[in-house]
């Protein structure tokens, strides 16, 4: 498994602003994912972060709202843009071991939008 850190761990933001969340892995990984977990809910995949190319977004998520960067094999960022209270969630990054389908998660970023 990999050691995954996220920054910030939590934040309280005003509506209309943007927040960039960082995900750092202690080893090079091919597959990196971003999830959203709304209060009391399960995990919903936002996008796959592809190194050196544009992220692949799931239905219901768009690049303008959730731009993602993946400059190398150990780092990715997710930006939550033009935030509204509905964006209040936990945002999680994960790394995948493709051959085994295993994914390992970071500790999450708890976002509250007021």
Partner 1 sequence: GQQLNQSPQSMFIQEGEDVSMNCTSSSIFNTWLWYKQDPGEGPVLLIALYKAGELTSNGRLTAQFGITRKDSFLNISASIPSDVGIYFCAGPNSGGSNYKLTFGKGTLLTVNP
In the numeric block, which tokens belong to residue 17? 């602003």
Listed residue (31, 7, 17) closest to 80, CA to CA = 17
Q: Footprint of partner 1 on residues 22-41 (CB under 8 A)? A: 31, 33, 41
Cα gap 76→70, rounded to integer Å: 4
Residue 70 CB, nearest distance to partner 1 (Å)?
A: 15
Measured from the CB atom, is 1 or 114 closer to partner 1?
1
- Do the Cβ atoms of 53 and 66 come closer than 8 Å? no
Question: Does 108 participate in binding partner 1 (rule CB under 8 A)?
Answer: yes
- Interface with partner 1 (CB under 8 A): 1, 4, 31, 33, 41-43, 45, 48, 56, 92, 94, 96, 98, 100-108, 110
């Amino acid at each position: 498994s990999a050691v995954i850190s996220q920054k910030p761990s939590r934040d309280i933001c005003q509506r209309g602003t943007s927040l960039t969340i960082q995900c750092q892995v202690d080893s090079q990984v091919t597959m990196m994912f971003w999830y959203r977990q709304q209060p009391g809910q399960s995990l919903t995949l936002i996008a796959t972060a592809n190194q050196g190319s544009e992220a692949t977004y799931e239905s219901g998520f768009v690049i303008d709202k959730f731009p993602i960067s993946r400059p190398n094999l150990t780092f990715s960022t997710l930006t939550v843009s033009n935030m509204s209270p509905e964006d209040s969630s936990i945002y999680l990054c994960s790394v995948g071991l493709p051959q085994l389908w295993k994914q390992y998660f970071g500790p999450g970023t708890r976002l509250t939008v007021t």
